[in-house]
Amino acid sequence: MSIKINDLSVIFKNGVKAINHASLEIPKGIFGLLGENGAGKTTLMRVLTTVLSPAEGTVSLDGMLYSEGNYEKIQKKIGYLPQEIELYPGLTVQECLEYMGDLAGVSKELCKKRISCYLEKTSLTEHRKKKMRQLSGGMKRRVGLVQALLNEPEFLIVDEPTTGLDPEERIRIRNLLVDFSENRTVLFSTHVVEDLAATCNQLAIMKKGEFLYSGGMRELVEEAKDHVWLCKVSQEAQARELERKYHVSSKQFVDGGVQMKILCENRPDINCMPCEAALEDAYIYITNRERIVIPELAG
């Protein structure tokens, strides 16, 4: 299962171009979609789930073109967990999943089997009789994930599933996504870099409706190599001056001053040393490259 997006543009009714001539290929396995809030990730997912129609460009799923005539076939292959969803609060977990399975057209017996299987995998079996409103945020997200899997989709789309969760739940959700990416394509959208670092090998970075990068995680980190610098200043005023002049990806107080990680195309004109790039540095580098290349523009 692979998804090809070719020269895609989405324009809202108010004229805002949410996606601007974007092209991407999503291979089998888990694929990360990274970008700041408002980058166009959710819009892209809404196109992939057939909620929105593109103004220009094409999308195809395993060679099947997204068009009105193919929507029904495509929809059967997709499972979706939107960023914000409130599943029926008055129903129990079991009832809610049975109801949604029924709506999805999954036969009752098969649905019950799948519910048992996925509740087991998501460690929710003991909570199956609890009402949806009684569950924690993380549990609700896991039920949402089970809901998305009821029709055994070949393409699973999850929009920021870890937002607002505690670290333990985030790790659990991430691990589940990796488990579920076996034999299917999972598109995992987030603005949390470490979520992708822990789950994906392939990712795309979006900003203002465009793909700034798509490819492997290692290659992304490689892009920022030799552009990350570590420096230490003794006074906070100096630190502020550096922040004004350069793109600072991290800052912390240490003994005798402030330690800063600077992203700069060339060695900054201060006392500093090259530093190994992390995924977060690479993401900041890619999304702010123009300002980093010409530091005078920073601030």
Partner 1 sequence: MEKEIKICLPFYKIAYSIFFIAVLILIRGLNFTFEIGVALEPQLALLAAVFCAETYVQEITSGRSEVERLYPMKNRMIAIFRRTGIQEIYLLILSAVGYGMFYVVQRPISFYSMPSFTGSEAGLFLISMAAFTVTLVFWGIFSVLLSSLFRNMWAGIGGCLLLWIVTNSTIGDRFLGKWNLFSYAFRDVEDRGDFSWVCGKIISIVVSIFMAAVLPKIIKNGK
Tokens describing residue 254: 């240490």
Kindly state whether residue 162 participates in binding partner 1, applying the rule CB under 8 A.
Answer: no
DSSP labels for 248-261?
EEEEEEETTEEEEE
Contact 154, 181 (CB under 8 A): no
Choice between 137 and 299, CB closer to partner 1: 137
Q: Which residues contact 212 (CB under 8 A, 6 or more apart)?
A: 205, 206, 286, 287, 289
Residue choice 91, 198, 212, 217 for contact with partner 1 (CB under 8 A):
91
The verdict on 90 binding partner 1 (CB under 8 A) reads yes
Site for partner 1 in 256-295 (CB under 8 A): none
Q: Which of residues 23-62 bind partner 1 (CB under 8 A)?
A: 46, 49-52
Residue with smaller CB distance to partner 1, 139 or 275: 139
Paired tokens of 95: 């009832």
The first and second tokens of residue 45, run together, are: 């997912």
Cβ atoms of 88 and 132 within 8 Å: the answer is yes
- Residues in contact with partner 1, counted by CB under 8 A, come to a total of 32
Largest CA distance in the chain: 69
Reduced DSSP (H G I as helix, E B as strand, rest coil) percent helix, strand, coil of the chain, to 5: 40, 30, 35
Query: By C-beta, is 88 or 241 nearer to partner 1?
Result: 88
Q: Does 154 bind partner 1 (CB under 8 A)?
A: no
- Residue 60: exposure state from Cβ atoms within 10 A (0-12, 13-18, ≥19): middle
Q: How far is CA 177 from its chain centroid? A: 12
User: Which of 81, 143, 187, 206 lies at the binding interface for partner 1 (CB under 8 A)?
Assistant: 81
Task: Based on the shown chain and the rule CB under 8 A, indicate whether residue 197 belongs to the binding site for partner 1.
Answer: no
From 38, 82, 215, 268, residue interacting with partner 1 (rule: CB under 8 A): 82
Question: With binding defined as CB under 8 A, does residue 105 bind partner 1?
Answer: yes
Point out which span in 55-63, 96-104, 161-169, 290-298 binds partner 1 (CB under 8 A): 96-104
The only residue of 43, 122, 147, 189 in contact with partner 1, by rule CB under 8 A: 147
Find residue 19's DSSP bridge partners.
10
Distance CA 97, CA 120 (A): 14
The answer to whether 142 touches 173, Cβ cutoff 8 Å, is: yes
Q: State in angstroms the smallest separation of the CB of 141 from partner 1.
A: 13
DSSP 92: B
Decide if residue 100 touches partner 1 (CB under 8 A): yes
> Among 55-63, 89-97, 226-234, 261-269, which window interacts with partner 1 (CB under 8 A)?
89-97
Read off the DSSP letter of residue 295.
Answer: G
* Residue 78 near partner 1 by CB under 8 A: yes
Give min distance, CB of 269 to partner 1, in A.
Answer: 51
**Closer Cβ to partner 1, 9 or 75, answer by number:** 75
Count CB neighbours of 235 within 10 A: 10
Pattern of binders to partner 1 over 11-30, x per CB under 8 A?
--------------------
Q: Footprint of partner 1 on this chain (CB under 8 A)?
A: 46, 49-52, 72, 75-76, 78-88, 90-91, 95, 98-100, 102-105, 147-148, 151
